[in-house]
A and B are shown apart, each in its own frame.
Chain A
C-alpha cells in the first residue's frame, strides 16, 4: 500500500512539474484535428485573454505567375462577409465582444488573428471556420477592395523611399524567384485579376489541412481542442495542394557576377550602403541558420560589440552600421550588412575597415567564451519573449508555415546549445568571408538625388 501511494505521489508530482519549471522554450503544446488542421497552444495565465491565430500555408510566393498580390487582396476579402455574415460584420462582432482583429500576408504565409477575452474564443473559432469555406466573393466587394489595396500600395510603398528602394533591389537579389516580387503585388497586376482568379485561389489553398491554429493565453490544450473539434473539426479536408514551388536561381548565370547598383531618390538625405547575399534559411538548415544568429550576436549584438565599437566608436567610419539575417523563410534567407554615411566618399574607406575587422575573425576564429556568452544572452531573451501574449504565437505560426517543425521551435534553446565552435567558424568562412550561397553578393547604395548637383557642377 505504502509503495503504491508513493508511486501515485511521484506520478502526480511529475505531471505537476511542467507547470512550475521551465521545460521547453515556450512551454507550448501540439496536437492535430482529424481533418489535418494542426494545433499549437501556448499557455500564459497573466490575464483572462487569448490570442487566436490561424495561419495558412500559402503566401505571395505561392501565387500564379502574373497574378502578384492576389494572396494579399484575398486576405482583405476575408473581412467582407460570408453566406451567413454580412459585409464587415466579422470585425464588428469581434469588437462588440471586446476583441481586436487583424490579418497579414507575407511571402510564405497568410494569417488572421484576434485578441479577446477567453470566454469568446469558441465564437472566434466558429467565425474563422465559417470564412475558411463560406466567403461571399461578390464582384462589388472585389472591386471596392481592389481600390483599397491600390491606396494601401501607394500609402505604404510608393510614398516611402526605402520601400521603393527594396522593390527595385529584390529582383536583383532573387533572380527568377518569387521573393523578387513585392508581397502586395505589382500595380498593373493588382488591377488585372478577375473574379474567377480569386475564386480559384480560395479553392486552391483554403482548407483545414492547409492551416495551423495557434492560441496563446489563459487556456489549456484540452480546452482549445474541444472547441476546435466543434468548429474547425466540422470542415472537410481537401485532397490535394499544389507543391509550394520556389523556382531555383540559375547559379551559372549569377554566381560569378558582381552586382553593384545605385539608386538616387529626392526623398533621401543620407547615403545608405548595403550588401545582401542569399544564405540558408532556418528551415533549409537549422544549424547553419543558428550559427548566423550567434555570429551576429557576437559581432553586432550591442554597441559594445566589435562592429559598432571598432568601426563607429573608435574609427568613426560611418554614422551607424549593422548586420542582419532574415531566416524565417521557406526558401533562401538573406544576410545583410549596412551602414549610413554623410558623404559618398566615405563608403570605400568603411568597406576596407570592415574587411579588416572580418579578417581578424577569419584568422583566429571565434573564441569559446564569446560563443558561450552569446548563447547565454540569447537564451535569456527567450524568457523575455514569453512575457508577451502575441510574439510566441506569431513565432510558431510564421516558422511552421515556413518549414520548421513544432519541436524545432519548442526546443530552440536545445538546438542553440548544440551549435559548436567548428560549426560557427565553418559558416563564417563559407557564407560571410566567401559567398557560397546560390547568388553573388548584391551591393546597393541609396542616395540623395544628384541631378541638381551635377547641373551645378557643369555650370
Chain B
C-alpha cells in the first residue's frame, strides 16, 4: 500500500516538473474581483513572494505648466505615513516585514509596485490601501523631500545623459506635452504645495483605467481578495483625458551643449513605429540588426569591433502612448567625433541599401524569440512585463503572438521596416561635450 502511495506521489512530482519546464512563458489568467476590478494573475510558486504592479492613467503630461514635477514629487511623498501610522511607524512596518512599496511618475501613467513575502500579504495589502486612500503629507516631510529632489536635480543637470535627453525632448517634441520635464525645474518644484499633490490623487487615483498585474505564490481566490482589499475603496471614475498624438517632429536638426568632458555624447532620434503597427514585428528584427543587438548589430560591428571608436553604440525603439521613436546613442573621444559620424551614416546607408542576409535575419529571429524567457525570471520582472503589455493595450496572449509574428517576418518585411525606421536618414541630433570650435582652433594653433 505504502509502495503504491509513494509511486503515485513520485509520479505527481515528476509530471509537475515536466509541465513547468515545457512552458516558456508562465500562464496568465485575466480575472475580475467580486467588486468588479479587472486584473492579470500569474501563479508562480518558485519562491514564497508576491509582486503587484499597477498603473493609473495620468502622469507627467498632466502636470500644469506652472506645476511641473508634480506627479514625480507625489511619487516620492507616498509611503511617508498613512492613516493611523505616522511616517516612522509606517516605514518601520514596511522594513520590519521586508515589504517594498515604490511609486514612479511616467509620461502617461502613475505606476506603483508592491513586493512582499507571501506570509505578510495581508499586512502589505493594508499598507498599500492606506497609502492610496489616506497618505500623510506633513509640511515638514514635504519640505524635506522637496530639498532632496532639488539637490538631486541640481547634480543631474550636469550629467551628459540628462543634458542629452532634456535638450532632445525640448527640440523634438516642440509644443507637445511630451516636452514636460518629469522632475520639473528647480523653480516649479519650489512653487509646488501639498494641495497640488492632493489634486493629482483626487483626479487620477481611480478604478477607471486602472491596470493591475499580480504574480507569485498566491491562489486565484487570495489574489481576488487582495486586489479588492487594496483597490475597491478607490473612487470609480478618473479625470484622465488623452492628449493629442504627436505626429510632426521637426527632424534634421542638430544642437550642441558644451560640457568639459573627454568624450562627446551623441543622441539621435526620428519617428519610429508602434506595437500595434502591422510592421511592428519586422521593426523589432530591423532594430536588432541595426543597433539593438549589441555585438550582433551592424552599428556595433562597424563602430566598436572594426574601428574601436567607442565602448558601445545602440539603437532602440521607444514606444509611448502618443509618440513612437527610433533612437541611436553612443559616445566617443572628442577627436574621433567626425569619424564616428561618418561611420554611423555609412552603416545606416548599408542597412538601407544592402540590407541583411537571410542567415542574419534568421539568427536575429532566433535570438528575439528564444531570449524572451530570460526576461521573465523573477517575480518582479514578470509582474512588470504583464503590466506593460496591458498599458500598451495588448492581449494576455501577446508574448506568444509576438513570437509567431517575428517568426513570420520575411526579407521583404524587413526591408520595408528598415526603410520606415531610417527614412532619408534625417535625425534630430543632440551632442554633449567640449565645444568643437574650441578644439578646432586649438588644433590650428
On A, residues with C-beta under 8 Å from B are 5-6, 9, 12, 16, 19, 44-49, 79, 87-88, 91-92, 95-100, 115-118, 144-148, 150-152, 154-156, 158-159, 161, 218, 266-270, 301-305, 309, 312-313, 316, 319-320, 340, 342, 373, 376-377, 380-381, 383-384, 386-390
Contact = CB atoms under 8 A, between A and B. Distances in A.
A46 B151 contact: no
A49 to B, nearest CB: 5
A376 B92 CA distance: 13
Contacts of A91: 294-296
Interface in B335-372: 363, 366-367, 369-371
A9 B95 contact: no
B378 to A, nearest CB: 4
B98 A319 contact: no
Contacts of A151: 263, 308-311, 331-333
A115 B144 CA distance: 42
Nearest to A90: B295
A45 B154 contact: no
B14 to A, nearest CB: 12
A352 B141 CA distance: 23
B92 A320 contact: no
B347 to A, nearest CB: 16
B157 to A, nearest CB: 7
Given A92-B363, A98-B370, A151-B309, A5 B2 contact: yes
Given A49-B374, A100-B371, A373-B96, A383 B144 contact: no
B117 interface: yes
Nearest to B1: A5
Contacts of A92: 295-296, 363
Interface residues of B, number: 75
Given A48-B23, A151-B310, A377-B95, 13 more contacts: A47-B376, A48-B373, A79-B295, A87-B305, A96-B366, A99-B371, A116-B374, A118-B21, A155-B311, A269-B157, A270-B155, A304-B87, A373-B96
Given A45-B20, A148-B304, A97 B378 contact: no
Contact of A304 (B92, B154, B294, B332): B92
B2 A304 contact: no
Contacts of A384: 47, 49, 98, 115, 117
Q: Is chain B's interface secondary structure helix, strand, loop, or mixed overall?
A: helix
Interface string B14-32: 0001001111101000000
B431 interface: no
Given A151-B333, A380-B97, A48 B295 contact: no
Contact of A95 (B117, B148, B296): B296
B308 A144 contact: yes
A140 to B, nearest CB: 11
A380 B97 CA distance: 8
A305 B88 CA distance: 8
A387 B157 CA distance: 36
Nearest to B305: A88
B260 interface: yes
B379 interface: yes
Give the 10 A-B residue pairs with the shortest CB-CB distance, closest first: A98-B370, A147-B308, A302-B95, A152-B311, A304-B91, A46-B46, A380-B98, A269-B154, A304-B88, A91-B295
Contacts of A270: 151, 154-155
A458 B160 CA distance: 32
Contacts of A319: 147-148, 151
A98 B26 contact: no
B437 interface: no
Contacts of B305: 87-88, 144
A117 B22 CA distance: 11
Contact of A96 (B97, B151, B331, B367): B367
B47 A154 contact: no
B367 A45 contact: no
Nearest to B260: A266
Contacts of B96: 373, 376-377
Contact of B370 (A97, A266, A373): A97
A147 B340 CA distance: 14
A373 B331 CA distance: 47
A49 B26 CA distance: 13
Nearest to B367: A95
Interface in B306-325: 306, 308-312
Contacts of B97: 380
